[in-house]
Structure 1
Amino acid sequence: MTHDFHEFIIGGVLFAPFVTYAASALAIILVLRPILRLIGFATIFSHVSIAEFSLYVVVLSSLVLLA
């Protein structure tokens, strides 16, 4: 099975699809951060930054796998 990857074009510069996925995952995480703060995400983990990065990796990998 072959994939038809579509490059993201800004001003004539072609960006790999992974760049689009990474930016989309960052936008999703930035939207989720206030919600995570409300539910007490920081109190569950001893290293919140590592937990947030792990959540970013999960979202990024989900976007890559679902595309």
Structure 2
Amino acid sequence: MVHTFAELVVGGVLFAPFATYLVAALVLIVVLRPLLHVVGFAKMFSHASVAELSLYVTILSLLVLLF
């Protein structure tokens, strides 16, 4: 089974699919931040920024595994 990766082309420059996943994960985190604030995500952890970074890495990993 061969999996072909579709590169993102911007202005004639080819970007690896991982770059697309990075941007997609960032967009998802930006969309989720207000919801996380309402739920009190920052109050659950002693270092909220590290927890948010871990959530970003988790979402990025899921994107890589699923697509």
Q: Please, what TM-score do these two structures have when normalized by structure 1?
A: 0.97
Q: Deviations over 1:14-65 (max 9, x none)?
A: 0000000000000000000000000000110000010000000000000000
| Structure 1: unaligned runs, 5 residues or longer | none
Q: Give percent identity, aligned residues only.
A: 61
Match status 1:35 vs 2:31: no
The residue that corresponds to 2:16 in the other structure is: 16
State the secondary structure of the residue aligned to 1:9. Answer: strand
| Structure 2: unaligned runs, 5 residues or longer | none
Give me the CA root mean square deviation.
Answer: 0.6
In 2, Cα distance between equivalents of 1:4 and 1:24: 19
Q: Please, what TM-score do these two structures have when normalized by structure 2?
A: 0.97
Which 4+ runs in 1 deviate beyond 2 A?
none
